Structure 1
Amino acid sequence: MNRQAIDALVKKMNVDTASGPVDERVQQVVVRLVADLFQAIEDLDLSQSEVWKGLEYLTDAGQANELGLLAAGLGLEHFLDLRADEKDAQAGISGGTPRTIEGPLYVAGAPESVGFARMDDGSESDKVDTLFIEGIVTDTDGNIIEGAKVEVWHANSLGNYSFFDKSQSDFNLRRTIFSDQDGRYVAQTTMPVGYGCPPEGTTQFVLDKLGRHGNRPSHVHYFVSAPGYRKLTTQFNIEGDKYLWDDFAFATREGLVATAVDITDEAEIARRGVNKPFKHIQFNVELVKETKTAPSTEIERRRASA
């Protein structure tokens, strides 16, 4: 069956049969995607068994709550970022901290503070290095932004995230810090580690078929927002990780690589209120002023809420 016949068939089944109110946008998307799927079945000569196995896989991935992970692993989320970059360029928007993927592990409602927050609950203090992350939030002209909302979250030393990992305390390694009068935020936490997809999970199943690994480098996620500015979804990946430029989720981008510096000076250790050497990362954030000429950076998607 050629594309003209496929398009006619899809129209006959999904447009001409309408007998009630139609959401034209939904109809447009469904018709296009179904027609593209039918064309792929033709082009690849998929058997009925292969089609049904594909549908079974999607059912299993949904039940395992791994579709968000799959979207990152197959590059869908990165592709959406690249499209957003193009839309910004077309609208004349440039500069600012680069965006990158959100991933599927954000949880709304983290404890809030101004200027400083300790993110960890102390349970891993003797297992991994203490990390201080700090930065200044400015606009693209270097002007300080006071009261910017800096939401930060990352994994523990086992590569697991609180809320999804029920062995961790509520909101462990998750905080919301509002920048102070100097535009500064400081987070005391623990060094995150890289992690892989669940080895027996649905995402890794597909990656194995593609001959790909499912590993991510050590990283820290951010949402940063302020009135009058475009919301930023980003993260930094940490220099030195073997997967830094081989991230299965394609999230590493120029401008989003951070270096963890070892701090051993006793005076600085005392000033920070800790009792041993620690690591320090400086991650400044530049927000772009909001404009009506570009698509919104607020993304509607289902997110967890504790």
Structure 2
Amino acid sequence: MNHADIDTLVKNWIVDAASRPANPRVQQVVQRLLGDLCKAIEDLDITPTEFWHGIAYLSAAGAANELGLLSAGLGLERFLDIRADEAEQKAGLEGGTPRTIEGPLYVAGAPESVGFARLDDGSESDRAETLFMQGTVFDQEGKPLPNAKVEVWHANLLGNYSFFDRTQSDFNLRRTIVTDADGRYQFRSIIPVGYGCPPDGTTQQLLDLLGRHGQRPAHIHFFVSAPGHRKLTTQINIDGDEYLWDDFAFASREGLVPAIARIDDPAAIDAKRLDKPFASIDFDFHLYRDTEAAPSTIVERNRAAA
């Protein structure tokens, strides 16, 4: 069957077979995706056994709640970011902090504070490297933005995230920081480690068949938002990580690998009320103003809430 025949067949199934008003956007998307899938079945001579194995795989991935992880691992989430970057460039927006993927592990409702927050609950302090990270949220003209929200979340020393890992305290390594009058934020936490896909999970199963690893470098996630400005979804990577530029989720980007200073000066250590050296990262965020010339950066998707 040729592609034209398939297009006719799929139109008959999706459009012509409709007996009552349909959602035109859903109809358009389903017709296109179903047509492309039928063409792939034809072109690649996909057998019924292969087809039903694929259906079983998607069912298992959904049951394991790994479809978000799979989307990142196949590059689909990165592709959405590429399209968003292109739209902003066409709208004349440039110079802002690079975006990168959200991933599937955000949890809404983290405790909020002004100017400063401690993210970690202290349970790993004896084994972890203490981190202080600080910076300013700027607008498009380079002016500091008071009352901007910096939502931050990252993994612990086992590569696990609170809420999804029930052994951790509520909202461990998760906070929302409202910038102070000078647009500044700061937090104390620990240097996280990278993590891998669940080794026996559905995402790693497919990656194994593709000859790929499922590792991520150590990183820290952010949502940064302010009234009248485009929401930024991004993350920084921890410099020196083995997988810094080999992220299975394709989220590593230039401009998102800040330098890490190791502070061992006794006076600086004492000023932080610590008894050992610590790490420090300076990182500023630059937001764009709201504009109708580019699609919204507010993404509606299922997210956890605690």
TM norm structure 2 = 0.99
Kindly report structure 1 stretches of 4+ aligned residues shifted beyond 4 Å: none
Query: Counterparts of 1:194 and 1:145 in 2: how far apart (Å)?
Result: 31
Query: Counterparts of 2:44 and 2:208 in 1: how far apart (Å)?
Result: 21
Could you list the per-position Cα deviations for residues 48-101 of structure 1 after superposition, in whole angstroms to 9, with x for gaps in the alignment? 000000000000000000000000000000000000011111111111100000
Q: Could you say which residue in structure 1 is the equivalent of 2:115? A: 115
Query: Counterparts of 1:42 and 1:78 in 2: how far apart (Å)?
Result: 28
Deviation at 1:15, TM superposition (A): 1.1
Could you list the per-position Cα deviations for residues 238-274 of structure 1 after superposition, in whole angstroms to 9, with x for gaps in the alignment? 1101100000000010100122211111111121222
Query: 1:126 is paired with a residue of what secondary structure?
Result: coil
Query: Counterparts of 2:250 and 2:107 in 1: how far apart (Å)?
Result: 22
Letter in 2 for 1:297: T
Q: Could you say which residue in structure 2 is the equivalent of 1:184? A: 184
Query: 1:175 is paired with a residue of what secondary structure?
Result: strand
Query: 1:262 is paired with a residue of what secondary structure?
Result: strand
Letter in 2 for 1:34: L
Query: Counterparts of 1:270 and 1:169 in 2: how far apart (Å)?
Result: 28
CA RMSD between the two structures: 0.7
Work out whether 1:239 is the aligned partner of 2:228: no
What residue ranges of structure 2 are gaps of 5+ in the alignment? none
Query: 1:87 is paired with a residue of what secondary structure?
Result: helix
Q: Could you say which residue in structure 1 is the equivalent of 2:224? A: 224
Deviation at 1:135, TM superposition (A): 0.9
Could you list the per-position Cα deviations for residues 136-192 of structure 1 after superposition, in whole angstroms to 9, with x for gaps in the alignment? 111132201001100000000000000000000000000000011111111100110
Query: Counterparts of 2:190 and 2:239 in 1: how far apart (Å)?
Result: 16
Letter in 1 for 2:297: T
Identity of aligned residues (%): 65
Query: Counterparts of 1:169 and 1:252 in 2: how far apart (Å)?
Result: 29
Residue range with higher mean Cα deviation, 89-98 or 153-162: 89-98
Deviation at 1:200, TM superposition (A): 0.4
Query: 1:98 is paired with a residue of what secondary structure?
Result: coil
Query: Counterparts of 1:181 and 1:80 in 2: how far apart (Å)?
Result: 34
Query: Counterparts of 1:145 and 1:253 in 2: how far apart (Å)?
Result: 24
Query: 2:16 is paired with a residue of what secondary structure?
Result: coil
How many residue pairs end up in the alignment? 306
Residue range with higher mean Cα deviation, 208-217 or 256-265: 256-265
Aligned runs of 1:159-174 on 2, under 5 Å?
Answer: 159-174=159-174
Query: Counterparts of 1:26 and 1:181 in 2: how far apart (Å)?
Result: 45
What residue ranges of structure 1 are gaps of 5+ in the alignment? none
Q: Could you say which residue in structure 1 is the equivalent of 2:301? A: 301
Query: Counterparts of 1:203 and 1:35 in 2: how far apart (Å)?
Result: 25
Q: Could you say which residue in structure 1 is the equivalent of 2:3? A: 3
Query: 2:30 is paired with a residue of what secondary structure?
Result: helix
Query: Counterparts of 1:251 and 1:34 in 2: how far apart (Å)?
Result: 29
Q: Could you say which residue in structure 2 is the equivalent of 1:30? A: 30
Q: Could you say which residue in structure 2 is the equivalent of 1:66? A: 66
Q: Could you say which residue in structure 2 is the equivalent of 1:49? A: 49
TM norm structure 1 = 0.99
